Structure 1
């Protein structure tokens, strides 16, 4: 068996580059889980106002992601507001069950903030997303600093070639007894977006996309190799 031809070796190298390039570029735009960073910023804002930090609730976070997925077609391009108000029953009948929130542990949603933007820079800059997308006025700030909140969860969702959405849900109750996820949330793997308290990175779908591109490029290289003899 002869040595591989230079053309095939070049194709193989290019296919490897194609596999890793989306992962490198996506990690620049989506560093880990930006939803967790929004929670940290909210607690920093509250403690600066001498208010208690909130519990990071994966149950609230997952429902926040469900919320923005439902509202993905309702972003106002002019001011970044989200014109979408799901019925309150959706939390217990749709969002909660989809996330695996145990019904007996379902507490009270004490507030929420929703925002959207066409700019990708807010994904890489959670501080700017907090101050320029989510909390742009006194009304939103008063929601963040409400004394009745005990827990918080953040959902983040991006539409392909479209806007990015953020949702912050606040709730009452303690971490170990309210908005509890079945099997501690181990069975939940979001296909798009991310939510705070989750162990999964926001860009997990990029690995699948990269693998598909790599297999396609490798297949094309093999076809070219066979045709060239």
Structure 2
């Protein structure tokens, strides 16, 4: 039996387990096909990013016969959340970003045992490192051994500063603190107040490329980075 964590809750709390290690589909890069007149074959161009994939998991549970329907209701509620993280017990250091879960009907195999299948629809088919959700110094994340990542930059200070990543810059007016989330493409204060007007520049210019990166910020400002590392 394999434990599965979804939306911050382990299935084992409900005494629900994956029957076996699920097959993990390969991540697929987004691409477009172009047919050029007078040329044989089709030209494929990369569009950036990855396609959604589906992770199918078969679950079962065992319990009192009279509580079978109650247990199934609790399971449906657990897996009804959207835009959550999925972690498999066989790969506890990583998670998948899940847009939604599609459930098939639960079936009895005996009076006390229930089985069902759940399809987890990923955002991009990539594995995200849990360590990459923590704050790091810029020096700790300048080398990215994984895929291109969309980090969060947390700036503390007062006044106008310039954040430079790989030679590309973003100008920010910081009033004590500012968070720049390049994945959601928003800027806000630590209390959650949106502050998109405080920045000037392109969010995608602040992505961390594979390999070595350079991160600089105006002197007098403190910078922490949540790298959002992700891999195949």
TM-score w.r.t. structure 2 length?
A: 0.24
Tell which has more relative contact order, 1 or 2 (C-alpha 8 A, sep 6+): 1
Which of the two has greater helix per residue? 1
Higher-strand-fraction structure: 2
